[in-house]
Amino acid sequence: MYAERASRLTGAVMWTSTPAGPGPGRVLPDGCMDLLWHEGRLLVAGPDTRAYLTDGSPGRWAGVRFSPGTAPALLGVPAHELRDRRVGLSDLWPAAEARRLTARVNAAPDPVSGLEEAALTRAAEAGPPDPLLSRIVAALDAGRPVAATADELGIGSRLLHRRSLAAFGYGPKTLARVLRLRRALALARGGTSLAETAARAGYADQAHMTRDVRELTGMSPARLLG
């Protein structure tokens, strides 16, 4: 069972998940990074370039999903170092600091509230997010070409690529594909036909969408939605 709500941290989402039964699960690429709690342990989920298959570990999971590009400044690690990975917080932070945060989350009334308070504290310490990152996401999510996005932001293609690696975990072309996948799934889940979804999400045609969705998720759109 999965549930989520908006966080008090702008742009973030709080969520919980309890596997319904044994077997792996599938986490789709979304351009985000998460701070996870599982059985008293904290982990960091890096940005995915393809569907991540979980190991089906039993027990409750909780997490805070940070908006694209914001987690590296809060967690102190470039996103590309965690691409397609799940890593214990103790492997990223000094041991004493990781233990303190883990104890703080475990002492909260529930892990969701503990994670949220931890995220809010880290955000206050880090200061406001870089506005350039949200502009990159907005431009690419609107379907703007990468070169045009770089020109409009006045940073050049090479700098855009470097900033994207550090903030999102991959280059702007991959980020644009992941954001397009999110748009397509939102449309299709809202009842839009696959042909119309392909056109509105920015694919050349439905066949193009099917190929791209399969590469990113390991499943066809019809199977994924079914």
The model's pLDDT over 24-38, given as tens digits with 9 standing for 90+, comes to: 789 999 999 999 999
Domain map (residue ranges) of the chain: 2-126, 131-225
Asked if pLDDT for residue 21 goes beyond 70, the answer is no
Give me the architecture of the 131-225 domain, per CATH.
Answer: Orthogonal Bundle (1.10)
Q: Model-level pTM?
A: 0.93
Q: How many CB atoms lie within 10 A of CB 121?
A: 14
The model's pLDDT over 109-151, given as tens digits with 9 standing for 90+, comes to: 999 999 999 999 999 999 999 999 999 999 999 999 999 999 9
Q: In what order do the strands lie in the sheet with 41-45?
A: 2-6, 13-17, 61-66, 33-38, 41-45, 86-88
Partnered with residue 4 across adjacent β-strands are: 15
Q: How many CB atoms lie within 10 A of CB 115?
A: 27
